Amino acid sequence: MTPSTADHAQDHAQMSVEDFEELARHAPETVALEFINGKLGVKPVPDGDHGEIIMWLLRQCIQQRPELGLYPEQGVKVESYRQGRARLDGALAPTGHFSGQGEWAHPGGILMAVEVTSHDSDTDLRDRVEKRDGCAASGIPVYLLVDRDTEKLVVYSEPERGEYLTRTSHAYGATVTLPTPVSITLETGKLKDYAH
């Protein structure tokens, strides 16, 4: 997202980011709110396969890079000028990185954002476009999308001017080496167990 696009989105935002944070603070624990591209969104409750995919990825990350943690459901300030608030399915960062940052952490230091698609009508725009673009605008080096609809891992990298310059797609079962600074190799055959 370019600065002019971010300014335009903020001009037409449903509410201010401060009002959103106040609303999110008082939302019931069963509801996860996000504020991306000036719009309030409700993140769906993950199903069992979604949770298993996150645990599969968490184990691989910790085994290969024990100095890092994959933080589930991490709130992050995204987009140019940090006017968005996204709750990532996973945020890969050095252990201890989020200490003292509160509910909405600064994206600096996050090596990879992870999203696993949900089986709902908003997943296309939310996971495949808005969060991806917000993470790119925030300079997060790698965006990993586990796309359960297509049974593929899509890896975005090299963020520049609000977009990822590189995109690779890999079918479940492939060996996928994530680019630096992540540098983790994923054996994705196990994902076939969660394809329903």
The candidate with the shortest Cα–Cα distance to 177, out of 92, 90, 60, is 60
Three-state DSSP at 109 gives coil
Mean pLDDT of 96-116: 94
Q: Is residue 43 pLDDT above 60, yes or no? A: no
Distance CA 36, CA 101 (A): 20
Residue-averaged pLDDT of the chain: 83
CATH number of 45-194: 3.90.1570.10
pLDDT band at 50 (very low <50, low <70, confident <90, very high): confident
122-150 pLDDT per residue, tens: 655 556 778 899 999 999 999 999 998 89
Q: Where are the domains of the chain?
A: 45-194
CA end-to-end span of the chain:
34
Could you tell me if 59 and 46 are in contact, meaning their C-beta atoms sit under 8 angstroms apart? no
pTM for the model: 0.78
- Residue 126 CA to residue 115 CA, distance in Å, equals 10
Question: In this predicted model, what pLDDT tens digit does every residue of 75-93 receive, in sequence order?
Answer: 999 876 557 888 899 999 9
Contact 114, 54 (CB under 8 A): yes
